């Protein structure tokens, strides 16, 4: 067993909730770099290259290339190039290149 001593923040990001909480703390809340059109986005990270249209996104992380249309997401991680259409998701993870509609 080894130990490592350091100064600063430490986060357990082994769960979607832990990952979302860590991102929110490090980024001091909301961080939107992607496109949002006719959508409500709160306490979320939307990375450059992501697109959200006509959706409600709360406490979630949306990776580059992801597209969300007409959906409601809460405490959800949407990975790269995934697509979510007309769906309600809570405490979920959508994998890379997945499509949910």
Domain boundaries, the chain: 32-100
Question: Residue 56: what pLDDT?
Answer: 98
3-state secondary structure 27-81: CCCCEECCEEECCEEECCEECCCCEEECCEEECCEECCCCEEECCEEECCEECCC
pLDDT tens profile 4-13? 887 887 888 8
pLDDT tens profile 8-65? 878 888 888 888 888 888 887 678 999 999 999 999 999 999 999 999 999 999 999 9
Question: Residue 12: what pLDDT?
Answer: 86
Torsion of CA 75, 79, 85, 87, to 10 degrees: -30
Question: Residue 2: what pLDDT?
Answer: 87
Q: Which fold has domain 32-100?
A: UDP N-Acetylglucosamine Acyltransferase; domain 1 (2.160.10)
* Tokens at 72, concatenated: 């409601």
pTM of the model: 0.87
Question: Residue 19: what pLDDT?
Answer: 87
For residues 11 and 64, what is the distance between their CA atoms, to the nearest angstrom? 23
Band the pLDDT of 69: cuts 50, 70, 90.
very high
């Amino acid at each position: 067993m080894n130990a490592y001593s350091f100064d600063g923040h430490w986060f357990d990001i082994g769960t979607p909730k832990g990952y979302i909480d860590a991102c929110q703390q490090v980024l001091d809340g909301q961080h939107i770099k992607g496109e949002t059109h006719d959508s409500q986005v709160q306490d979320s990270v939307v990375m450059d290259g992501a697109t959200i249209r006509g959706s409600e996104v709360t406490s979630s992380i949306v990776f580059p290339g992801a597209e969300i249309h007409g959906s409601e997401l809460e405490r959800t991680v949407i990975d790269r190039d995934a697509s979510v259409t007309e769906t309600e998701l809570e405490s979920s993870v959508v994998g890379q290149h997945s499509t949910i509609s």
